[in-house]
Amino acid sequence: MSAQTSVESPALASNGWLKTYYYLRFAVSAAWVLAAFTVAKTVVPLAAAMLVAYPLWDALANYVDAQRSSGLGRNRTQLLNFVVSIITAIAVAVALGHSMNAVLSVYGVWAAISGAFQLLTAVRRWKTNGAQWAMILSGAQSALAGLFFVKMAGGTETIGIANVAPYAAFGAFYFLVSAVWLSVGDFLRKSPQAMR
């Protein structure tokens, strides 16, 4: 094994986990969006369960990712995202007893805060993993979407799970872009070594 390969291997191993993580997050989000636009639009109990489950899934994903990257103690933005997402799931469950406008308000606050934490996590990872521009864009867009949700929740429009689904769809898109970008980058790095 060359010295160059041994130096690059930790980053490549880290990218290997990130690729798996991003592909998994894309798959789960895409499935959630598909269900939100189809069966959950007419099955209210399912929509309610999905609205609580989405931030819980985000909390679990941040926890697992942080554990694979030296733990929550070394990844403060993900620790905070984990905590905020747990609180959000509880708040959504409570808000469901009031109105969908209240649920959308909770989602709006969560999207803004978690988007900021996601952006900061991506900036931190840029030096070690690269290919984080999509996650930075995703975090920024999430924060903007949150403000839009809060504004919409204060209006008179009828709110349903389909109003949240585009937000999740954009998240799925950015996770897919990040996974593909890392995959292509790793392939290009490995190709010259394979030709030697």
List the domain boundaries for the chain. 17-195
Q: Please, is 26 exposed, middle or buried when counting C-beta atoms within 10 Å of its C-beta (0-12, 13-18, 19+)? A: buried
pLDDT band at 59, cuts 50/70/90?
Answer: very high
Cα–Cα dist 154/136, whole Å: 28
pLDDT-based confidence at 185, cuts 50/70/90? Answer: confident
**pLDDT exceeds cutoff 60 at 153:** yes
**Cβ pair 9, 183 in contact under 8 A:** no
Half-sphere exposure of 19 (CA within 13 A, CB side): 14
* Degrees, nearest 5: CA angle 154-155-161: 85
pLDDT tens by residue, 68-113: 877 788 888 899 999 999 999 999 999 999 999 999 999 999 999 9
CA proximity to 159, closest of 172, 149, 167: 149
Greatest pairwise CA separation for the chain in angstroms: 65
pTM value?
Answer: 0.84
Q: Which residue has the higher pLDDT, 187 or 46?
A: 46
